[in-house]
């Protein structure tokens, strides 16, 4: 058998089915079919609209996907990469600064700074944030400084909160000790958003001796970033002195490192590095040893007169008259520029800014003073050039010039000299500092016309007074040469101007450059601190040649007469103390009254050059409120010139 038996129905098991039952079942099926139908069938048009809508949506999605993947694909690829990659700057070592012999005046000391990306930091839980800051505090705080930890931690929190929403990252700690940096280096990769940057901190070897020249660097601030968009947050930028003036050469070119991070911002691996390019170096005209000697000599005289350091101030400059190179430039009081390189505290900064002696003022080029008698060689040159007098023409000095008031003969104005000189020619007038002679050639008296204020102004400007010298340092002041246009200008004002009193104001730098033009035969140079710019290996990148501002405005014969007068001042005049030096010196002392009318306070001046026949150095010394020039300024010049020629 095939096994089909089970599919057969036994006849005896069948039951009879009535006709009514068949009819009822047919009706039931028909009822179910009718109930499954809608009362109003959907029209074909609605189906078409529905299919069109679906098609539009699908096409829109397809086009959008194509736009994102094809048109904007690169953009979103970069965005994705940006979430995965971090590009961090590598600071460039700043260029070195050397004296004229190539001796370094600064060093770059390795330094470590802790930087945090604020977005990554705030993505962490509050607990992790606190844990990280606690760990940082423990690492950088000395074990025996328990009270420092909480203060440091609160400082870190304040830094982060102050910067949040303003910048993308902030430098939490600068100048971290090497031992602490080594520990942090092993941890920062596990702290989202943190990194340890290796930088270089400036160390100024000579401290306060060169601070007004070299200046200092500081971390870039928001104002710096507005003016210089190519700087990074943790970059150092020149803030003053040569560091500021030659920033474009000293700064170098930053590098970059490309880091891969995970979704939490933790460092995974280094992908690429672009090395930083070191800055260029500066070779100065300055002599390191001479700068220190001049500073110490000034400090010594201030101590001697009993007011060092709180009140009295002083400045001195030495220049090469052959090219305008500055050999030494001192301003006292000074400050230690290492304070700024290391990160000056607010308390230290406040102390310096509130110091009444103003240690930040570079008196050599920003101090403005009445010149006193050191202006007389310039007035003498102008008088000779305008043929007011000849070198050996005598003017009688009775010790005073008296001028009768033209409106009231009973009023007589007296313009005194410091003594009766008798008949005096130009050379003797310079040597003996005869006021009556210069009253006469400046303002006129008797049968001598005088230069008058207009011509005095013209010649003083020829010598560079009343204008910037153009030195390669910031903060230079212009001084003041009166023009006599004031309706209250009288003959007496011209007399005062002729001896360096009254309204005239000069900077020591202006005067030393003016007298350098007398020493070199009539060429006014622009003063220069920097001589050359070199690369890391000492190869010349840029030579800075001497710049002539003016020349030929005084006849050589007239300059020679003025030189003789200054030489005679050393032989038998007010600067006779210099006669014992190993070289022949020409010079002029000055005593300039200042303050309110009738004040007896005076600034002490000296200016001179040597050797007389072949000048190689010009020196100017000013001691504020130092009394007579031959008592305070002259001894400094003598000591330094003697040292200079014994060592060169």
Would you say how long the chain is, in residues? 648
Could you read off the pLDDT of 145-160 as tens digits, one per residue? 444 556 677 888 888 8
Of 519, 515, 528, nearest to 616 by C-alpha is 519
Which of 266, 284, 302 is where one domain is finished? 284
Question: What pLDDT is attached to residue 311?
Answer: 63
Residues 377, 505 share a domain: yes
Question: What pLDDT is attached to residue 65?
Answer: 63
Would you say residue 360 has pLDDT above 90?
yes
What is the residue range of 409's domain?
364-628
Is the whole-model pTM more than 0.85? Answer: no
Would you say residue 10 has pLDDT above 60?
no
Who has greater pLDDT, 237 or 26? 237
Answer positive or negative: Cα dihedral of 204, 205, 207, 209.
negative
Residues 580, 453 share a domain: yes
Separation between Cα atoms, residue 48 and residue 107, nearest integer Å: 83
Q: Hey, what's the torsion of the CAs at 191, 193, 195, 201, to 10 degrees?
A: -140
**CB within 8 A of 325, min separation 6: which ones?**
285, 319, 527, 528, 531, 546
Q: Which two tokens stand for residue 24?
A: 């009822």
Give yes or no for a contact between 267 and 235, defined as CB atoms under 8 angstroms apart. no
Residues 614, 500 share a domain: yes
Pairing type for strands 97-98 and 281-284 reads parallel
pLDDT band at 7 (very low <50, low <70, confident <90, very high): very low
Residues 385, 260 share a domain: no
136 cis-preceded (ω within 30 degrees of 0): no
Residues 376, 272 share a domain: no
Could you read off the pLDDT of 550-597 as tens digits, one per residue? 999 999 999 999 999 999 999 999 899 999 999 999 999 999 888 776
Q: Tell me if 171 is assigned to some domain.
A: yes
Residues 373, 277 share a domain: no
Q: Which two tokens stand for residue 151?
A: 């203060």
Which region among 261-270, 339-348, 427-436 has the lowest average model confidence (pLDDT)?
261-270
Q: Tell me if 294 is assigned to some domain.
A: no
Question: What pLDDT is attached to residue 3?
Answer: 45
Question: What pLDDT is attached to residue 2?
Answer: 41
pLDDT band at 77 (very low <50, low <70, confident <90, very high): low
Answer positive or negative: Cα dihedral of 175, 176, 178, 181.
negative
Alpha helices (H) along 7-43 = 19-35
Question: What pLDDT is attached to residue 599?
Answer: 67
Residues 117, 263 share a domain: yes
Residues 401, 262 share a domain: no
Question: What pLDDT is attached to residue 1?
Answer: 40
CATH at residue 104:
3.90.1310.10
Separation between Cα atoms, residue 38 and residue 585, nearest integer Å: 126
Would you say residue 189 has pLDDT above 60?
yes
Give yes or no for a contact between 369 and 594, defined as CB atoms under 8 angstroms apart. yes
Q: Tell me if 53 is assigned to some domain.
A: no
Strand partners, 618: 319, 609
Would you say residue 511 has pLDDT above 60?
yes
Total domains in the chain come to: 2
Would you say residue 144 has pLDDT above 60?
no
Which region among 10-24, 81-95, 193-207, 433-447 has the lowest average model confidence (pLDDT)?
10-24
| Helix (H), strand (E), coil (C) string for 382-405 | HHHHCCCCCCCCCEEECCEEEEEC
CATH at residue 387:
3.40.710.10
Region 358-367 average pLDDT: 96
Give yes or no for a contact between 278 and 541, defined as CB atoms under 8 angstroms apart. no
DSSP symbol at 573: S
Q: Tell me if 393 is assigned to some domain.
A: yes
Question: What pLDDT is attached to residue 101?
Answer: 97
**CB within 8 A of 151, min separation 6: which ones?**
none
Separation between Cα atoms, residue 329 and residue 457, nearest integer Å: 27
Give yes or no for a contact between 371 and 592, defined as CB atoms under 8 angstroms apart. yes
Q: Show the CA angle centred on residue 501, arms to residues 494 and 585, nearest 5°.
A: 115
Residues 410, 265 share a domain: no
Residues 376, 280 share a domain: no
Could you read off the pLDDT of 370-397 as tens digits, one per residue? 999 999 999 999 999 999 999 999 999 9
Residues 492, 386 share a domain: yes
Q: Tell me if 635 is assigned to some domain.
A: no
Who has greater pLDDT, 365 or 631? 365
Could you read off the pLDDT of 242-273 as tens digits, one per residue? 999 999 999 999 888 887 877 666 777 878 88
Would you say residue 12 has pLDDT above 70?
no
Question: What pLDDT is attached to residue 258?
Answer: 83
Give yes or no for a contact between 631 and 577, defined as CB atoms under 8 angstroms apart. no
Which region among 33-47, 173-187, 194-208 has the lowest average model confidence (pLDDT)?
33-47
Residues 500, 369 share a domain: yes
Region 285-291 average pLDDT: 98
Q: Tell me if 12 is assigned to some domain.
A: no
Could you read off the pLDDT of 471-489 as tens digits, one per residue? 999 999 999 999 988 768 9
Region 586-611 average pLDDT: 88
Using N-to-C axis directions, what is the helix angle for 376-385 and 452-462, rounded to 10°?
Answer: 110
Q: In the Cβ-directed half-sphere of 514, how many Cα atoms lie within 13 Å? A: 27
Neighbours of 1 (CB within 10 A): 4
Alpha helices (H) along 359-490 = 363-366, 376-385, 426-432, 435-443, 452-462
Q: Tell me if 357 is assigned to some domain.
A: no
Q: Tell me if 190 is assigned to some domain.
A: yes
Give yes or no for a contact between 497 and 453, defined as CB atoms under 8 angstroms apart. yes
Region 354-377 average pLDDT: 95
Separation between Cα atoms, residue 379 and residue 498, nearest integer Å: 7
**CB within 8 A of 140, min separation 6: which ones?**
152, 173, 176, 177, 180, 184
């Amino acid at each position: 058998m095939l096994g089909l038996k089970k599919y057969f129905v036994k006849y005896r098991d069948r039951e009879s089915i009535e006709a009514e039952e068949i009819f009822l079942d047919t009706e039931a099926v028909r009822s179910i079919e009718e109930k499954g139908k809608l009362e109003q069938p959907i029209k074909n048009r609605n189906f078409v609209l529905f299919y069109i809508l679906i098609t539009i949506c699908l096409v829109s999605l397809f086009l959008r996907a194509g736009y994102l993947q094809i048109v904007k694909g690169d953009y979103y690829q970069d965005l994705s990469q940006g979430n995965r990659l971090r590009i961090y700057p590598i600071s460039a070592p700043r260029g070195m600064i050397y004296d004229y012999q190539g001796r370094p005046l600064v060093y770059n000391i390795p330094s470590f700074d802790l930087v945090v990306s604020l977005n990554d930091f705030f993505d962490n839980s509050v607990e992790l944030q606190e844990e990280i800051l606690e760990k940082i505090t423990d690492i950088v705080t000395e074990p025996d400084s328990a009270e420092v930890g909480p203060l440091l931690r609160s400082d870190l929190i304040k830094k982060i909160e102050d910067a949040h929403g303003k910048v993308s990252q902030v430098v939490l700690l600068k100048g971290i000790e090497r031992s602490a940096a080594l520990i942090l280096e092993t941890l920062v990769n596990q702290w989202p958003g943190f990194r340890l940057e290796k930088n270089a901190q400036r160390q100024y070897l000579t401290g306060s001796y060169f601070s007004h020249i070299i200046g200092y660097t500081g971390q870039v601030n928001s104002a710096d970033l507005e003016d210089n968009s190519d700087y990074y947050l943790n970059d150092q930028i020149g803030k003053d002195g040569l560091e500021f003036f030659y920033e474009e050469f000293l700064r170098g070119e930053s590098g970059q490192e490309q880091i891969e991070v995970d979704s939490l911002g933790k460092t995974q691996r280094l992908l690429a590095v672009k090395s930083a390019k070191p800055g260029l170096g500066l070779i100065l005209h300055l002599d390191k040893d001479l700068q220190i000697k001049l500073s110490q000599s000034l400090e010594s005289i201030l101590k001697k007169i009993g007011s060092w350091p709180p009140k009295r101030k002083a400045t001195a400059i030495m220049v090469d008259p052959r090219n305008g190179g500055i050999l030494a430039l001192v301003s006292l009081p000074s400050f230690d520029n290492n304070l700024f390189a290391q990160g000056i505290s607010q308390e230290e900064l406040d102390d310096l800014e509130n110091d009444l002696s103003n240690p930040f003022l570079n008196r050599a080029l920003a101090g403005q003073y009445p010149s006193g008698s050191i202006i007389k060689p310039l007035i003498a040159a102008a008088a000779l050039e305008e043929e007011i007098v000849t070198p050996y023409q005598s003017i009688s000095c009775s010790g005073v010039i008296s001028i009768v008031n033209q409106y009231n003969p009973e009023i007589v104005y007296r313009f005194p000299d410091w003594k009766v000189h008798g008949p005096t020619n130009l050379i003797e007038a310079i040597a003996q500092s005869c006021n009556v002679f210069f009253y006469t050639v400046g303002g006129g008296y008797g049968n001598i016309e005088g230069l008058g204020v207009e011509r005095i102004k013209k010649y003083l400007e020829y010598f560079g007074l009343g204008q910037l010298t153009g030195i390669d340092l910031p903060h230079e002041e212009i001084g003041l040469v009166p023009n006599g246009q004031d309706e209250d200008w009288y003959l007496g004002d011209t007399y005062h101007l002729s001896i360096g009193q009254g309204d005239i104001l000069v900077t020591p730098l202006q005067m030393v450059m003016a007298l350098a033009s007398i020493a070199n035969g009539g060429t006014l140079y622009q003063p220069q601190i920097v001589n050359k710019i070199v690369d890391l290996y000492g190869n010349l990148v840029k030579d800075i040649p001497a710049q002539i501002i003016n020349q030929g405005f005084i006849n050589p014969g007239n300059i020679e007469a003025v030189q003789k007068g200054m030489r005679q001042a050393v032989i038998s005049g007010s600067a006779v103390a210099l006669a014992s030096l190993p070289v022949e010196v020409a010079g002029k002392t000055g005593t300039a009254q200042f303050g309110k009318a009738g004040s007896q306070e005076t600034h002490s001046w000296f200016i001179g050059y040597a050797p007389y026949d072949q000048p190689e150095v010009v020196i100017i010394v000013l001691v504020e409120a130092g009394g007579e020039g031959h008592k305070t300024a002259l001894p400094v010049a003598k000591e330094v010139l003697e040292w200079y020629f014994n060592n060169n």
